[in-house]
Amino acid sequence: MLSRENRVLMGAMALVVIVFLVLEWLSTSVGIEGLAGPLAGFFLIVGLGVAAPQLYLAKTDSSREPVTRLRIVVFLTVVFAFVFVLGASSFEQLVILGLTGLLVVGWFGYELKLALEAARERGDLPELDAE
């Protein structure tokens, strides 16, 4: 029997494939270029295939810490960014790497906040005196 986590992840991947096939069909039948390009693929894989199920599981599943699931999202976003940048135009590369960079900087800020809160609770940080 599949675990709930595996069902969520497999459902998200099936949804990614379905949406990508619909975009490809729209691209060929309607003639809109770029619907199934690297940028759309990046958003589909990272947004729908990685981030959405991990954020859902972070909120509803107690078997892992939510922070661990957020780390998975950041790590896989970086990996997929470098994969999708290889076949992208310069504008698409800028968008993919820019969004990934913002995500990584945001994650480092969040980790710094967690570290400072933990140090403050342990008493490792001096208190600032109000003058």
Please report, for the chain, how many H helices and E strands are present, in that order.
Answer: 5, 0
Instruction: Quickly state the pLDDT bin for 128 (edges 50, 70, 90).
Output: low
The alpha helices in the chain, defined as continuous H runs, are 4-30, 38-42, 52-60, 66-85, 90-122
pLDDT for res 71:
93
> pTM, whole model, 2 decimals?
0.82
Q: How far is CA 38 from CA 11, 14, 85, in A?
A: 22, 19, 7
What is the mean pLDDT of the segment spanning 36-57? 91
Whole-angstrom distance, CA of residue 19 vs CA of residue 14: 9
